[in-house]
Amino acid sequence: MYFYGHLVLSLARLNGEGRADLLGSCFPVGPKHLATALHVVSPNDNGLMASFPAISNIAEYQDTSVPGWQAAPVKIAAVDAIRDICILEAPSDWTFQLQHAVSGTDFINMGADVHIYGYPHMDFGRRVMTLQRSHIGAKVLIENQGVKVKHVVINTQLRPGQSGGPVFDAATGSLCAMVTGAYAPDIQGSVIISGVDPVTLHQTGHAVSAEYLKEMIP
């Protein structure tokens, strides 16, 4: 099985209390750049930090009792508000060697198996890189400001901390999409319970085609 968990980083922002608030996931798309969802970073790179996962292979345990982690500042290099994409510039002493091709949703069909990497429970302060295995439920075009954007619907429930995480085609190991979040209908009177909007509690999530990432890398 292709395994890319060691390349999926977490994002956090330093707050005024000398601590860091966990935000979401990100991953390398070039030797010096990372990708995430734009809504994860606001967009604002003030105090924005990225940290490697506490895992280097598929057999390791992640120690949840470790109180902190090493992180380095990252800066926003490019944004696409229509497609909810942000490209981050990595620290000068970081260099990534990509082990996968960047394809897109044109090359994957309904029913295809996919692997989703990210940090599901960051909104509760839990930083555990997690792999989910699911499949594509639909391919859709979502219009935003007159632009139709390619997405796939993934048949699994996605949590806020997974936003900005990569989606890989299980058959080829190529990067096909990036998690943008759960579908939430635009309705009035929505109530937030324990930080969760109940209308997002369904077994599907959305991911934007990875082809747009390639166009944004400086």
Do residues 76 and 134 both lie within one domain?
no
Do residues 40 and 111 both lie within one domain?
no
Q: What is the pLDDT of residue 200?
A: 52
Place of tokens 């082990």: 99
**Regions of the chain with pLDDT less than 50:** 187-189, 193-194
Do residues 178 and 78 both lie within one domain?
no
Q: What is the pLDDT of residue 33?
A: 97
Do residues 47 and 73 both lie within one domain?
yes
The reply to whether 52 falls in a domain is yes
Domain count, the chain: 2
Q: What is the pLDDT of residue 183?
A: 67
Domain with 148 in it: 105-216
Q: What is the pLDDT of residue 196?
A: 52
Distance CA 58, CA 53 (A): 12
Do residues 109 and 206 both lie within one domain?
yes
What's the one-letter identity of residue 42?
S
Using alpha carbons, list the distances in angstroms from residue 119 to 22, 96, 113, 141, 209. 10, 20, 20, 26, 20
What does the CA dihedral 153, 22, 145, 143 come to, rounded to 10 degrees? 0
Q: What is the pLDDT of residue 193?
A: 47
The reply to whether 100 falls in a domain is no
The reply to whether 59 falls in a domain is yes
Using alpha carbons, list the distances in angstroms from residue 178 to 11, 28, 150, 192, 193. 15, 12, 11, 25, 26
